[in-house]
Amino acid sequence: MKKLPFRALMALAFAVSASFSALSATYHVYPRGGAADLQAALEEVALSGEPGEVVVHAGEYAIRDSLSIWPETTLTLEEGVLLKAVQGFDGAMLVGRHWSVEPVNSVTHIQPGTTCPDVNCTHGGYSQCHDVIVQGGTWDRNSAATDNSAILVFRHSSGIVVRDLTAKNCSNHYFNFSGSENVLVDGVVFLDAVNYQGSDPDFWLKYKRGDKTRYQTIEAIHLDFMDEAGEAGSFPLDGTPCRDILISNCLFDSVFAGAGTHHYASKAPATNVRIENCDFRNLFSYAVYCFGFEQMAVRGNSVSGGRGLIDCKGASCVVEDNAVGSASLYGVFATEKAGVVLKRNTFSKAAGIAVCVRDGAVLDARDNVFDTTGGHAVTLIGCGKCVLSGNTFRNVAKTAILVSDKTVLDAVGNTIVSPGTQGITAQVGAKLAAQSNTISGAKGIGILVDSAAAGSSIVGNTVSATGSHGIRIFKTEGCTVDSNVVTGGNADGIVFDQCRSGTASRNTVTKTAKNAIRLVGTKAIPTTVAVKSNVFSTGKPKKSFDIRLGDYCKKCKLIGNVLSNNLYSFSKKGLSKNVLQPPSTKIAKIVRKPKTTVKVWWEKPAGVTGYQVQYAPNSKFKKAKTKTVSSAKTAKATIKKLAKNKKYWFRVRAVQTIRKVDYVSAWSAARSVKP
């Protein structure tokens, strides 16, 4: 890989440049001098007062104490260099330092220990170490089970580049960039975390998760805030956050977690953190921890194994073009008012839920693919306004989209194939607007609205071949079911159960195993629904019905529906409590010839048993006469013995006869004919 100079590299990553542009001297280190010569060379660069480079030649170097590096230094490890910590050494392998205030340029006053242990330190913000490049070689922390230290540490720093090296065998954060800005980590390989088995009580207070074999929130790259919760012992603890961080083209294999922080900022949030084109394999936990970040972007990464891609709390994050496979818990977990945008990601073979969003968080998910999950694909619990648009769900073990606890969801244009239970479920006060979704092969119900918020809507969806009902509305008021196509299924096409209000209009329901639509209530909660202008056709006319109306349905309006089999299931008690009106017709043609005779033709609506033709010599149809046509196949009538010199008005309505009772449609628009 071509080595870009520091200035060009930082400009590429952040559109900023370093404070130096050329190296004044190069210092060479060879294995015979060991780590002592390496530290001496780094000090020479620092004391020179000019930018410099230390080149480490091939060989193995034993690290017994922390190496210190100062501003404006490039540390290059050539191919074949191995820096290996000696077990029992408790400290980071390389630490970014700053100079004491007095006196300047004295080796004896270089700060030892952590980046700065001086509680009175005034080097806050991003002023401690700056403009450093660390590149190449293998860094082996060689942690014993009782060691608890990092490989590289830069706090309160700016303009740090770490690239093209391998870091391995670490029991803590591999790299720590807390309170730093303009950091680039590129082309780094992180390998083989070591499970800490020591007795540090502070460590277990922070990290224990049930047993000592998995302290699952230790990120390989630590991006914390400079406060007591995250960085106790390094000063000043002024709350400085990370900003302008790019982590790219890295491999994380068998480490605890990838990058980020699991602490909230005490003051300002971290901003503009980008994790791009990295490969996360066999992690114990999440690839990314994002707590309280703003402008976080996770793009083009691949994840296989581990808990999942990202744990996002109280943060704003864009997650795009990632491939997440074999997550053991959640592919994406967002909570505590986080705002997450998911675009063009692929989630496959998740053991649990692919995306879980809850507790006030907000999700905007578009054009993602969810394939073969062990639980639900997407769960939204207690969220704000969420959007799921253009996503594809295949072979989900449970419900593809589950919405609950007052979440508001717009689900638009999603494709759901063969979910293990429901296609979409909205429950416990959630408000659902499902529009133009395609759901096929659900083992349970296509769309279930169960005790949801009033005003939910199911519009323009296509539901087919479900194991149960196509659409079921249960104990939900004011739900609109409009312009859906429901085909096949092993139960009813549409069900309204114990709904005090609601509308089913312009739906087409065909080939259902049971009823095309069923309305059912209880004595405590009767159902009152308007069913208008639908096309209903049960698939088993000898065993089921186009419309089935229960006794506890009250004031339902069945208006203008087309019934291919003309099958209703009503009790007499049920009929008397509701309004039934067949589909209307309209006059197609009217001719008067001779003057005392008029011929009328009209359109044939489906599912009616006859017609009535009414005529009168006035537009208000006073003293009108009515002619009945008993055959649904006859769509014409001849009216004779009219007055020669009078103008007449005509109108037609359809008749549906059920149990010897005639139910009529609204009258058509009137047509007149002159003498």
Contact 75, 68 (CB under 8 A): no
pLDDT, averaged across the chain: 87
> What pLDDT, on the 0 to 100 scale, is given for residue 122?
74
> What pLDDT, on the 0 to 100 scale, is given for residue 23?
54
**Residue that finishes a domain, picked among 244, 267, 284:** 284
Closest C-alpha among 90, 87, 180 to residue 129: 180
The string over 39-76, giving b where at least 16 C-beta atoms fall within 10 Å of a residue's C-beta and e elsewhere, is bebbbebbeeeebbbbbbeebebebeebbbbbbbbbbb
- Of 231-240, 472-481, 592-601, minimum mean pLDDT range: 231-240
Mean pLDDT for the stretch of residues 105-130: 61
Contact 536, 562 (CB under 8 A): yes
The dihedral built from the CA positions of residue 394, 396, 399 and 403, taken in this order, carries a sign that is: negative
Q: Considering the chain, what percentage of its residues have pLDDT values greater than 90?
A: 66
Region of residue 612 (left: phi > 0; alpha: psi -120 to 50; beta: else): beta
Closest C-alpha among 50, 128, 53 to residue 95: 128
Region of residue 59 (left: phi > 0; alpha: psi -120 to 50; beta: else): left
Helix-strand-coil percent breakdown of the chain, rounded to 5?
Answer: 5, 45, 50
User: Has residue 626 been placed in a domain?
Assistant: yes
Q: Looking at 282-378, list the stretches that DSSP marks H as alpha helix, in order from N- to C-terminal side.
A: none
Instruction: Give the largest Cα separation in the chain, rounded.
Output: 127
The 10s digit of each residue's pLDDT in 24-62 is: 689 999 999 999 999 999 989 988 888 999 999 999 999
The 10s digit of each residue's pLDDT in 327-358 is: 778 899 999 999 999 999 999 988 889 999 99
| Strands 302-304, 279-281: pairing kind | parallel
> What pLDDT, on the 0 to 100 scale, is given for residue 554?
85
> What pLDDT, on the 0 to 100 scale, is given for residue 281?
95
Number of residues written out for the chain: 675
- Residue 607 or residue 138, greater confidence: 138
User: Has residue 134 been placed in a domain?
Assistant: yes
Distance CA 640, CA 630 (A): 18
> What pLDDT, on the 0 to 100 scale, is given for residue 350?
86
> What pLDDT, on the 0 to 100 scale, is given for residue 294?
92
> What pLDDT, on the 0 to 100 scale, is given for residue 193?
87
172 DSSP assignment: S
User: Has residue 163 been placed in a domain?
Assistant: yes
pLDDT band at 405 (very low <50, low <70, confident <90, very high): very high
pLDDT at 3 over 80: no
C-alpha R_g of the chain:
37
- What is the torsion angle, in degrees rounded to the nearest 10, for the CA atoms of residue 630, residue 632, residue 633 and residue 637? 50
Contact 619, 646 (CB under 8 A): no
Distance CA 255, CA 280 (A): 9
Q: What is the 3-state secondary structure (H, E, C) of 24-76?
A: CEEEEECHHHHHHHHHHHHHHHHHHCCCEEEEECCEEEEECCCEEECCCEEEE
pLDDT at 103 over 50: no
Q: Which domain holds residue 614?
A: 587-673
Q: Considering the chain, what percentage of its residues have pLDDT values greater than 70?
A: 87
Contact 599, 674 (CB under 8 A): no
Residues with Cβ within 8 Å of 214's Cβ and at least 6 positions away in sequence, in order, are 195, 256, 284, 285
Tokens 């999700």, residue located: 363
- Of 492-496, 547-551, 633-637, minimum mean pLDDT range: 547-551
569: its two tokens: 């299931």
Neighbour tally for 249: CB within 10 Å = 16
Strand partners, 590: 600
User: Has residue 298 been placed in a domain?
Assistant: no
Cis previous bond, 103, omega within 30: yes
- Of 21-25, 66-70, 285-289, 647-651, minimum mean pLDDT range: 21-25
pLDDT band at 171 (very low <50, low <70, confident <90, very high): confident
Q: How many domains does the chain have?
A: 2
User: Has residue 550 been placed in a domain?
Assistant: no
- What is the torsion angle, in degrees rounded to the nearest 10, for the CA atoms of residue 178, residue 184, residue 189 and residue 194? 0
Residues with Cβ within 8 Å of 612's Cβ and at least 6 positions away in sequence, in order, are 626, 627, 628, 629, 652, 653, 655, 664
**Residue that finishes a domain, picked among 269, 284, 299:** 284
**Residue that finishes a domain, picked among 284, 299, 320:** 284
- Of 4-13, 315-324, 327-336, 552-561, minimum mean pLDDT range: 4-13
Strand partners, 135: 76, 163
> What pLDDT, on the 0 to 100 scale, is given for residue 24?
66
The 10s digit of each residue's pLDDT in 241-298 is: 999 999 999 999 999 899 998 777 657 889 999 999 999 999 988 999 999 899 999 9
> What pLDDT, on the 0 to 100 scale, is given for residue 276?
98
pLDDT at 511 over 90: yes
Region of residue 540 (left: phi > 0; alpha: psi -120 to 50; beta: else): beta
- What is the torsion angle, in degrees rounded to the nearest 10, for the CA atoms of residue 266, residue 270, residue 276 and residue 279? -10
Tokens 């949801």, residue located: 452
Neighbour tally for 155: CB within 10 Å = 27
The dihedral built from the CA positions of residue 126, 132, 137 and 143, taken in this order, carries a sign that is: negative
> What pLDDT, on the 0 to 100 scale, is given for residue 566?
63
Mean pLDDT for the stretch of residues 172-196: 92
Distance CA 94, CA 65 (A): 9
Q: How distant, in Å, are the alpha carbons of 133, 155, 491, 495 from that of 543?
A: 78, 75, 12, 17
596 DSSP assignment: T
CATH number of domain containing 640: 2.60.40.10
Closest C-alpha among 586, 600, 608 to residue 667: 586
Neighbour tally for 142: CB within 10 Å = 20
pLDDT at 13 over 80: no
Distance CA 64, CA 92 (A): 10
pTM of the model: 0.86
> What pLDDT, on the 0 to 100 scale, is given for residue 578?
73
* Three-class secondary structure of residue 443 per DSSP: coil
Burial classification of residue 202, based on how many CB atoms lie within 10 Å of its CB (0-12 exposed, 13-18 middle, 19 or more buried): exposed
What DSSP element (H or E) covers 185? strand 181-186
- Distance in angstroms between the alpha carbons of the first and the last residue of the chain: 96
User: Has residue 292 been placed in a domain?
Assistant: no
Interior angle at CA 266, CA 265 and CA 268, nearest 5: 65
User: Has residue 426 been placed in a domain?
Assistant: no
> What pLDDT, on the 0 to 100 scale, is given for residue 574?
58
User: Has residue 309 been placed in a domain?
Assistant: no
Mean pLDDT for the stretch of residues 202-217: 47
Region of residue 407 (left: phi > 0; alpha: psi -120 to 50; beta: else): beta
Write the DSSP string, 641-666: ---TT--EEEEEEEEEEETTEEEE-P
CATH number of domain containing 178: 2.160.20.10
pLDDT band at 211 (very low <50, low <70, confident <90, very high): very low
- Of 112-116, 340-344, 641-645, minimum mean pLDDT range: 112-116
Contact 523, 553 (CB under 8 A): no
Neighbour tally for 211: CB within 10 Å = 8
- Of 86-90, 106-110, 337-341, 525-529, minimum mean pLDDT range: 106-110
